[in-house]
Amino acid sequence: MGVDIISVSHYHNNTMEIDNSPIKKYVLMDWTRPPAHERLSPKPIKMREKEAHTLNQAMAINRQNKRYVRSDV
Q: What is the mean pLDDT of residues 47-70?
A: 92
pLDDT tens per residue, range 36-58? 666 677 788 899 999 999 999 99
Of the two residues 41 and 59, the one the predictor is more confident about is 59
Amino acid 40: pLDDT: 74
Q: How far is 24 from 60, CA to CA, in rounded Å?
A: 21
**Counting beta carbons within 10 angstroms of the beta carbon of residue 56, is it exposed (0 to 12), middle (13 to 18) or buried (19 or more)?**
middle
Tell me the percentage of the chain whose pLDDT exceeds 90: 30
